[in-house]
Amino acid sequence: MNGSATPQTAPRDAWERVRAELRVREKAYTRAGDALAAARRRLPMTRMEPVTVVGVHGPVRLLDVFEDRRVLLVYHFMWHAGAPHEKQCEGCTHSQVAMNEAVRAYLAERDVGYAVFSSGPWAEIAAYRDFMGWTMPWYSTADTGDALPAIRDGGDLRCYLRVGGDVFQTYETTARGIEAMLPTLRLLDLTPYGRQETWEDSPAGWPQDTAGSWWRRDGRPVAQWTRTHESVQLGVSRPGALQASGVQTEASDDSRSS
């Protein structure tokens, strides 16, 4: 962390008084979020045309991606076709780190499924998912044409509802709208230096750099250092990266790069 600036120091009683004032604003923020969520629950829905995506078991209908659940959340992972693992999107990689089996199990308790869609070839997508050690259902939309309209090439989160044999889209968001998937950012917001990005309104002297620039280090998305120790940018390894994460070297062989 660059810089030596720190918050002002205050006696405990003064600190508690200022903290109580901020808590009032935090509660108002929470209630505003509740009101927005209530408005989302009242949005209309729009029917989806039949579409087929490709997954581990070959082509499947969008309806089958639900896996018999009523609701489906889908993240559209930006894909760079033909690129090696280290060149894939650091932002989308960051978004998937927290979507582990436990999180998906809690979603399932509310009859909500989760899947990832990408426009790249299935073989490349499968190789990346295996490299990262992820288990979430992932599908290629390379041959869907305009049946799944995109906000961008990726970075979107969408919600679908199954009604009998029909599928409806109920919601979509992108950019900062997907921050619900990024607990790292919400936790950093609780710290004195925040996310340490230039767009933030922070006191003079606070450490800051370009938004999202810290999601990639030594040529790789940061999460990839839990899968390999080999740098692709500086030509040096990062000893201990695998050991610290508990991942075995033989399970993280870069030879699987697409």
- Separation of alpha carbons 207 and 199, rounded Å: 12
The candidate with the shortest Cα–Cα distance to 120, out of 80, 156, 93, 65, is 80
- This prediction has a pTM of 0.86
Predicted confidence pLDDT, tens digits, the chain (258 residues):
555 899 999 999 999 999 999 999 999 999 999 999 999 999 999 999 999 999 999 999 999 999 999 999 999 999 999 999 999 999 999 999 999 999 999 999 999 999 999 999 999 999 999 999 999 999 999 988 777 776 677 899 999 999 999 999 999 999 999 999 999 999 999 999 999 999 999 999 999 999 999 999 999 999 999 999 988 765 555 544 444 334 333 333 333 232
- Separation of alpha carbons 223 and 217, rounded Å: 9
- Separation of alpha carbons 154 and 240, rounded Å: 33
- Separation of alpha carbons 45 and 182, rounded Å: 26
Q: Domains in the chain, ordered, with CATH?
A: 46-181 (3.40.30.10)
The candidate with the shortest Cα–Cα distance to 91, out of 222, 239, 1, 3, is 222
